[in-house]
Amino acid sequence: MTNIRTIEGDFTDCQGRYALVVGRFNSFVVESLVDAAVDTLQRHGIDTDSITIYRVPGAYEIPLAAQRVARSGKYDAVLALGAVIRGGTPHFDYVAGESASGVTNVSLNTDLPVIFGVLTLDTIEQAIERAGTKAGNKGADAAMTALEMVSLFRKMES
């Protein structure tokens, strides 16, 4: 096993342009994700001039906007950030499922890292935990994933 070549991303060659496609619905949680994602990108040397935020109404609209952003050719990675909190109707299942499926399809169809940072939660308490308290911040996690994927893709090209 030691002779097998292994290629993986790291955080050394991750300079580039990053787009955040952000659902405004549940903004009391989502803005914490955005702040953490931007902070993480900046801590890894990404200039603010290389970060663009696109805002859409909610998680359901994220895939279409992410697709347009990804197809523009202007970005090295796209972060999809939002929050869907379960209510008393099946609406949650449709929105959460379609958002996840849509983001996956955008990534596969554009050959670009499109990172799924949309929280799908049962309660407001879970949302708050994942936006910066007990469970860390999933916006920061999404940014770390984007940085690593950009690095990996660069290594794959060389």
Tell me the per-residue pLDDT of 5-18, one tens digit each, with 9 for 90 and over: 999 998 888 899 99
Who wins on pLDDT, 2 or 73?
A: 73
d(CA 53, CA 31): 12
- Rounded to two decimals, the pTM is 0.93
CB neighbour list of residue 25: distance below 8 Å, 6 or more residues apart? 57, 58, 59, 82, 83, 84
pLDDT in tens, 18-39: 999 999 998 999 999 999 999 9
Measured over the CA atoms of residue 124, residue 129, residue 130 and residue 135, the dihedral's sign is: negative
In three-state secondary structure terms, 133 is: coil
Residue 48 has pLDDT above 90, yes or no: yes
Active site residues per annotation: 91
Residue 135's pLDDT is what? 63
Residue 63 has pLDDT above 90, yes or no: yes
* DSSP state letter for 62: H
Residue 52, H or E segment:
strand 51-56
